[in-house]
Chains A and B, each alone.
Chain A
Amino acid sequence: MIINHPLLGPCDAQEFTYLGDARLIDRPDGMADGAEDVFYDYAYLRDNPAGQHRELWFHEAGDRSWLVITRNTLTHEIISVELARDVARKQGRSL
């Protein structure tokens, strides 16, 4: 596969390490009430879609950026590639 890195352009997928579902960005607050149940979902529950999937890739043999890649799991078509940091900020994560 070829991943079109937003800063570096097209890169071979061999340069990357795959992590999984991009919802791992949405880490709950560990100090909130009822955190245990929410963390159980966060740590263990994943969708396994046949189709579009947002997932985290790490450019380990490259610039060490984490990326959010939207990929069709049926065709391997890559729909979008974003810096995970930008995605996290857009989703309201900060400090």
Chain B
Amino acid sequence: MKRYKWMFVWLFAAFVIAASDGLAQVSPEIQLATRGVVSFNVDRAAHATASAVNDFSDTAVLLGFKQKLYGRYRGQLVVGFQFPDADSDLGQVFYHQIFVKLEDKSNILKIGRSRVRSALIEFPTLRDDDAIFYTDVLNPFSSGENTEDHQYGNVMEYAHVFGQRVWLRLHGEHFTKTPLPPATAETDFSLNAIGVSLQYRVPESQRWNRPILNQIGIGFNNFLTNRAAYGGYDEVLKNITFSAILNIRPDPVHFWDVRHQSILNLGLSGVDRITDFTSMTLARSLASTTALRYLYRKLERPTAQISLTVGYKSFPELAQNTFQWLGIINAFYRLGDNFDVGVQYTLQKFNGDLQYLFGETETRIQFSLVFAIDQLWNDQFDDRDSLLNLEHGYIN
């Protein structure tokens, strides 16, 4: 009997090997997205002027692989890296996206390092983090050295799409906790934030259906500051985010839209002074950002864009009247497909406690070139948001 058992094992092994050797692999779709951002910066802060010959931060490369699985599911792997700010402590290269996604028509499960849900919408600034104190829920576990701490984290997210436009997202994250010296790297990667968001948004492919309301959403982010390893406070730090995008002139040639996002940080009780970055994130605050954008599309492609973004953030429960505001105006002109030249002027003012951290004023002028591509090879199936799938029935 034992001999038969071994024969069976050997036969089974031989079958598995033969089967795996004989089957052709399914070739995945391959996606390459890159964005090269270089700028010449002139900064003026605290009555001193500095310049950077070459700022290439936020330059990023994303490589994605996607294929149909058995049944109705699709699987995806994305690996990406970016070049962080020169003065960050993330090193020369930061791997900001490494995640696997499993999805069908209405359900999406995403696990890995990726963009955290610290913002509901994006603003038309040169770099993602140009207005981050206003546009993103700030990570209270960060020392504030790296803006990536607020944007990227280890994420586990489930999203459900109701119909085609309503997105419910449940997410849990490990936000980076800046290691305390002498440690140089994190050792605890446990859950330190959870959240939920609900959004209505018009798919990009249907933008010329010309709805006035393009997006509206609400999100809740809870940082588990009551955990011993993450502050050990009595309370959980709660942030509530509201956003909306309105197409005020949804014209294909002369397009105008306005977007707004408010982030209410409920803060921890008893925080009445800002002395460092952490106390700034723990203090009650209300940040509001609004952007007005004009987009000129000459030949069915963007030709030029001008935008004005203003932000205001107040800290109502501090002993000293404390607030900050920001204005960004920029213009981009398309030199060719995917390639833009731009200029951006940023002005920030700080009052109250914030002056100890940032000074009174910061001014920055940037002259930039941006090259962004998004290419797909070996494409084999459609996206959830394609017009065929949205308007003529979804094909699994």
Are A and B a genuine interacting pair, yes or no?
no
> Which B residues lie at the A interface, using CB under 8 A?
none
